[in-house]
Amino acid sequence: MRIKCPLCGDRDSREYTYMGHETYLDRPGDEGWSADWDDYLHLRDNPAGVTRDLWYHGAGCTSWLLVERDTVTHDILRVELARDAKRGRG
Amino acid sequence: MRYSGWQVLKQGLTGNKGWQPAWRDPDPKPQYDVLIIGGGGHGLATAFYLAKEHGITNVAVLERGYLGGGNVGRNTTIVRANYGLPGNSEFYSHSLKLWEGMEQELNYNVMHSQRGIINLFHSDGQRDAYARRGNTMINQGDDAILLDNAGCRRLLPYLDYDQTRFPIYGGLYHKRGGTARHDAVAWGYARGADMRGVDLIQQCEVTGIDIENGRVTGVQTSRGPIRAKKVAMAAAGRSGQVAAMAGLRLPVESHILQAFVTEGLKPCIDHVVTYGMGHFYISQSDKGGLVFGGDLDFYASYAARGNLPTAEHVIEAGMTLMPMIGKARLLRSWGGIMDMSSDGSPIIDKAPVEGLYVNAGWCYGGFKAVPGSGFSYAHLIATDRHHAPAARFRLDRFNTGLVMDEEAKGSQHNLH
């Protein structure tokens, strides 16, 4: 599996660490425990097919990336900086 | 037909013409008391114990492919009860006791071999942790022996004890642990359930779960609709998709776990040996192949195959621990789809939909749990009350904070 980092280019998956589903981009507020925190930390759609998840390019530019990929074929479909994705959501 | 040595002799002398199929191949009836989604180890064991312990025989097991074709047929066959956390400890202890009576209970040879498991440790701190673990196991009524370096050398003379990175201080020896013939476990439960009247329906994919007024009424399948009072999920790595049909999301992410087997060799590894620091464990099958594995690939996947970095890591760890395996040729490798829960422990509970039950989140430890899970799940389905040894495997524990984090890593998906 190779992931094309927007800054570093096409790199071996060994350079990256998987964090988890893009849910992690939407951290709930700090007002205390709520069902939103259960969603954020635990509950997952867990799709067999296209998913979007966060990877850390630790052995490269140390950016957080949002990777769109297929969990059945391991194809990498799209990669962008998590920062850009987060800004795009406002 | 009852299996016995006498039967083998009789059939052998009469041309082996009298053997019967081990189970029927029925068409689905329009209605059942209980439907079980998933004909793997857990689903088949549940059907067996529903019939045997609770007299509920109007049951069908619906299997998308063939019986035992999922993780129960694709694992490294280890059976053990060496957990430390309250809730896990009594559950796996109960499961191991069921293993010990399984062959008699099922009249089926599952080749259960209590060859012992040795968890190696490599520091004073790790020794303390294993001493505590061993005491917990003994308090639970199971067995544990703390081996020092010399004790390990006697049992495992072939390890590299003086490796500089992780020198071996000793090991925790769990004598009643071991291995079993994985497919036979599925087949034994299938035959036992079928004999008691359960319909095992293969090539029958569930495509929808029918819910009316918050109550489950049946399922849609590739072989037509089937009505039922109770529907029980036991779909392992596919639990997320089955739950989605009922509008549920589970605290589960499916990951790959790879395993490897070499060509058949003369007996050389007598136990199951685990090398936690290097992420490696190994045993030798009765056929002679070295069966080993390591950690997850650590990304969500349904590919049922892994990638090279993890394969390299596992094999490097194996070579560090036991250089003698270097000349063995690798025959094959494969990847299973693990239903990883966010705290690393399983779920056996009622779903928020009336009449729907969840059995999921077995992570990479589902095989040893097959009898215990089937027994406790059947108890829950039959009585609507939790079976004591599995009473902490709640679906809502992630929200209430009563998580069961055996490895003390935190309840978060990328940690287990």
Could you please report the per-residue DSSP string of B8-21? HHHHHHTTT-----
User: What CATH class has B26-78+182-251+343-415?
Assistant: alpha beta
Amino acid at B26: P
d(CA A40, CA A24): 6
DSSP character string of B336-393: EEEEEETTS--EEEE-SSBTEEEEE--TT-TTTTHHHHHHHHHHHHHHSS--GGGTT-
Q: Which residues does chain A have within 8 Å of residue B244's beta carbon, measured at their own beta carbons?
A: 45
pLDDT at position B150 is: 98
pLDDT score of A83 more than 90: yes
ipTM: 0.95
Tens of pLDDT, residues B388-415: 999 999 999 999 999 999 999 999 998 8
Cβ-contact B32, B58 below 8 angstroms: yes
> What is the residue-wise DSSP string for B67-90?
TT-SGGGSS--EE-----STTHHH
Q: Which residues of B345-368 are buried (b: 16+ CB within 10 A; e: fewer)?
A: bbbbbbbebebbbbbbbbbbbbbb
Q: Which residues contact B243 (CB under 8 A, 6 or more apart)?
A: B233, B249, B250, B351, B358, B360
Q: Is there a contact between A47 and B240 if contact means CB atoms under 8 Å apart?
A: yes
- A-B contacts (CB, under 8 Å): 78
List B residues 61-120 in contact with A (Cβ-Cβ < 8 A): none
What residue in A sits closest to B303 (Cα-Cα)? A72
pLDDT at B414: 84
B221 touches chain A (CB under 8 A): no
Residues on chain A touching B241 (C-beta within 8 angstroms):
46, 48
In the predicted structure, residue A90 carries a pLDDT above the cut 60: no
Mean pLDDT of B227-249: 97
Q: Do B399 and A35 touch (CB under 8 A)?
A: yes
Q: Do A74 and B301 touch (CB under 8 A)?
A: yes
The pLDDT tens digits for B154-204 are 999 999 998 878 999 999 999 999 999 999 999 999 999 999 999 999 999
The topology (CATH level 3) of A2-88 is Folate-binding fold (3.30.2270)
Q: What is d(CA B375, CA B51) in angstroms, rounded to the nearest whole number?
A: 11
The pLDDT confidence band at residue A89, using thresholds 50, 70 and 90, is confident
Tell me whether B205 touches chain A (CB under 8 Å).
Answer: no
Residues 397-416 of B with CB under 8 A from A: 398-399, 401, 411-414
Where are chain B's structural domains?
Answer: 26-78+182-251+343-415, 113-177+253-341
Domain ranges of chain A: 2-88
What the block records as the tokens of B309 is: 């970095």
Q: What is the pLDDT of residues B113-141, one digit of tens each?
A: 999 999 999 999 999 999 999 999 999 99
Closest chain B residue to the Cα of A75, Cα to Cα: B303
Class of the domain covering B113-177+253-341: alpha beta
